[in-house]
Amino acid sequence: MQSFRTELENPLVERDIIELEQKIRAFKEGKIPDEKFRSLRLARGVYGQRQQGVQMVRIKLPYGKMSFAQWKRISDVSDEFSTGNLHLTTRQDVQIHYVSLDRTPELWSLLEEESITMREACGNTVRNVTGSDIAGVDPEEPFDITPYAHAIFEYFLRKPFGQELGRKFKIAVSSSEKDTALVFMHDLGAIPRIKVIDGKEVRGFKVVVGGGLGAQPFLAKTTHEFLEEDLLIPYIEAIIRVFDRNGERNSRHKARIKFLINQIGIDAFNELVEAEQKAVSIKTYKIDSNVHAESELPTGILPAGDIKIKNPLNFELWKKTNVKEQKQKGYYLAFVRVSNGNISSDVSRRLIDKLHSVVADDVRVTITQNLQFRYIKPEHLEYVYSVLEAENLATPGYGSAADIVSCPGTDTCNLGISNSTSLAVVLSSVIEDEYPELLLNTDIAIRISGCMNSCGQHGIGTIGFHGSSLKVKDKVVPAVQVLIGGGNLGGGDGRIADKVLKVPSKRAPEVVRYVVNDFNANKQGEETLLQYTFRVGDRYYYDLLKPLTNTATLEAEEYIDWGHVETFATAIGVGECAGVMVDLVSTLIFEAEEKIDLAISSVENGAFADSIYYTYAGFINTAKALLLNHQVQCNTQTGILKDFDAHFTEKGLYSATDSFKELVLQINKNEPGAEFAQSYLQQAKAFIDYAKTYKEEAVTA
């Protein structure tokens, strides 16, 4: 592996990239354990694929926004380091696949030249901040949330308390009460509101906490109907710190914040957050509502040449379904349906070249894996359509039942059980060919995941599917679990879909036909499918779909999954979506010393709050190492503090304090200033020295 060096304007970013290169080198030389290295690279956007020896790189786009220059750079990088495909995700990220691990630092460096980061795009970190794709142009928004979403992204990037959480932490900000960012399924979500206080309009947010999908979905709980704008970021920080300290770490399947809240109750959780406020360095955080709020408008100069439209009728349908009027009079936005979220680098560059003069330099990736262009003048819509039509991207029906969300599934993901992408294409064709009227209907959402983890958001689909399998005699059949009745209710409320039954994957199109035909025959008035599912209940769908579960009638093709030619066999690898717990005793004290080095550096730079948190992490890692050396399993940071007192302090093995827990939890009893940062740091250094001596004596005893 050749050494790589980079020259970037931001020394923090440059150090990050060089560190990744050094860690890759150390890993290749056997100096870093696999699990430790995995945790490190995930926090830098480098994710192992189903295919051995290559990586998926996740590129972080706050609220899905990218400039033309950024889009082109991502396309160029995909050509140089990958396959030339850009995969748009439901988290408004862009993923490129089949990347060599050795080349990821160079790739990252090229992205950062256009202010694009991979940092904390994966792993147990504060993930990409998603937002309504229509933010800034939404006629119903109280105010533009773009500056707030961007401020959240910037503030929490590289924060010490967000680097090694028990699990990932996802934040979403919607633009209006319609909740198009789906805050109800996030760890933390915010919806903008305006309240009149003392005769003045004050900006704020409804805040919800503890939502999430996966195998055990939870709807988020409201903590504030109105939290003033300047208090939003300090409040989020307090929540993340509480989650870091109290969240589960032993069982990764119960480590999301939703499980912590469910375990202790929302009232007890709120009390912990309130107590943590003292330790937060910034009590109010003023966000400039003008920063990142303006889009660079197009010149409006059409390229020379005649506009050629192949299908005028389709153009009219496209305008009805994919084009919306902005709040800025005289401008429109257009949505582009991108099948399975996959768009090539070549197509991307041609779109940039042909559209840059008639759409704003502000392209949005949507949470439905599509693209959005904005600030289009009405007289330019025909030209925009013609460009999209030439690239086979002028499909109408944005947001309809045909606009299906699906994760990559077995194409590249370790956890995929059955194919989701090919099934999505098939179901989309079923809607377009057999139910064309549904292209005008945005009330039905079909969502597909390759496994139960819900990366394709099957848990909130009106009709949802997740990959599974069925054992039939001595063979295994690719299957899907069917879910019915999930959806967005607005205002931060939602409904989780009900699990109904499991059917062979090749019968999923019949599931859609059964459900849609039944709805068309029995709906009342203007009733939506979601409302209809409320009325009839999930048992109704079990009875309706039961005939499709009959495996006695299986045909040969049903043993082969969608998009495959070989007989189906389950092959699930080790998932990396949520990172890996690092429990190796041999590395914990070393990691603690690394945290102390960071704490010292932070003190020298006047970043006292960061120093204190690094010091706290040094305490925790060291105590965990000693406990594991005694075969004491640790599942939360608060549990580590309690267990250390029980096994060391109370037995006289550690006598520097009467309560190790109280010593360490000085972190949220003191304001983060220079004096406390220094004294706390010295106490941690002394504790690490004690731990090293204790460990050495235990070895020689």
What is the average pLDDT across 251-275?
Answer: 95
pLDDT at 564: 83
User: How far is Cα 239 from Cα 152, in angstroms, rounded to an integer?
Assistant: 13
Bridge partners, 588 (sequence order): none
Strands 405-406 and 446-449: parallel
Kindly compute the dihedral angle of the four CA atoms of residues 663, 664, 668, 670, in this order, to the nearest 10 degrees.
50
pLDDT tens digits, one per residue of 677-686: 999 999 999 9
Helices (H), 503-556: 508-522, 529-536, 538-545
- Per the document, the length of the chain is 701
pLDDT at residue 494 is higher than 60: yes
Looking at the domain covering 585-700, what would its CATH class be? mainly alpha
Section 254-260 average pLDDT = 95
Q: How many C-beta neighbours within 10 Å does residue 416 have?
A: 26
Tokens 């890993």 correspond to 27
Q: What are 77's two structure tokens?
A: 């990088």
Helix 637-644 vs helix 608-629: crossing angle, to nearest 10: 60
Token pair, residue 618, equals 């040094």
- Phi-psi region at 292: left, alpha or beta (left = phi > 0; alpha = psi -120 to 50): left
Domain(s) of CATH 3.30.413.10: residues in the chain: 130-279, 405-559
For the whole model, what pTM was predicted? 0.92
Has residue 578 got a pLDDT over 50?
A: no
Per-residue pLDDT at 6: 57
CA distances from 193 to 203, 205, 449 (A): 6, 5, 33
Long-range residue pairs from 189-192, CB within 8 A, at least 24 positions apart, any chain:
189/220, 189/492, 190/145, 190/148, 190/227, 190/232, 191/491, 191/492, 192/141, 192/142, 192/143, 192/145, 192/148
In this predicted structure, the answer to whether residue 101 has a pLDDT above a threshold of 70 is yes
- Alpha-carbon torsion (78, 83, 84, 87), positive or negative: negative
Contact 459, 217 (CB under 8 A): yes
For residue 257, give Cα distances in angstroms to 160, 183, 238, 415. Answer: 18, 15, 13, 22
- Confidence class of residue 583 from pLDDT cuts 50, 70 and 90? very low
Contact predicate 611/279, CB 8 Å: no
| pLDDT grade for 5, boundaries at 50, 70 and 90 | low
Question: May I ask the CATH architecture of the domain 11-112?
Answer: Alpha-Beta Complex (3.90)
Q: How much of the chain exceeds pLDDT 70, in percent?
A: 95
With a CB cutoff of 8 Å and minimum separation 6, the contacts of 84 are 75, 78, 344, 345, 346
For the domain 130-279, what is the CATH code? 3.30.413.10
CATH 3.90.480.20 occupies which residues in the chain? 11-112
In the sheet that 188-197 helps form, which strands lie side by side, from edge to edge?
130-131, 171-173, 188-197, 200-209, 221-228
Measured CA to CA, the distance from residue 281 to residue 237 in angstroms comes to 10
- Other Cβ atoms closer than 10 A to 76: 17
**What DSSP designation does 64 have?**
G
Domain 312-390, CATH homologous superfamily name and number: Sulfite Reductase Hemoprotein;Domain 2 (3.90.480.10)
d(CA 367, CA 133): 8
39-43, 90-94, 210-214: lowest mean pLDDT where? 39-43
Q: What is the CATH architecture of 405-559?
A: 2-Layer Sandwich (3.30)
**Mode of pairing for the β-strands spanning 475-484 and 498-504:** antiparallel
Instruction: Write phi, then psi, for 4 (nearest 5 degrees).
Output: -115, 140
Q: With contact defined as beta carbons under 8 Å apart, do 333 and 374 qualify?
A: yes
- 521: confidence class by pLDDT, cuts 50, 70, 90: very high
Task: Please list the residue range(s) of the chain that carry CATH number 3.90.480.10.
Answer: 312-390
Cβ 402 vs Cβ 431: under 8 Å? yes
Span between the terminal Cα atoms of the chain, in Å: 42
Q: Report the pLDDT value the prediction gives residue 576, as an integer from 0 to 100.
A: 54
Residues 6 or more apart whose CB falls under 8 angstroms from that of 521 comprise: none
Residue spans of beta strands (DSSP E) within 339-445: 342-344, 363-365, 371-376, 405-406
pLDDT tens figures, 212-223 = 998 899 999 999
pLDDT digits (tens, 9 = 90+) for 399-409: 999 999 998 87
Helix (H, G, I), strand (E, B) or coil at 658: coil
| Average pLDDT, rounded, for the chain | 92
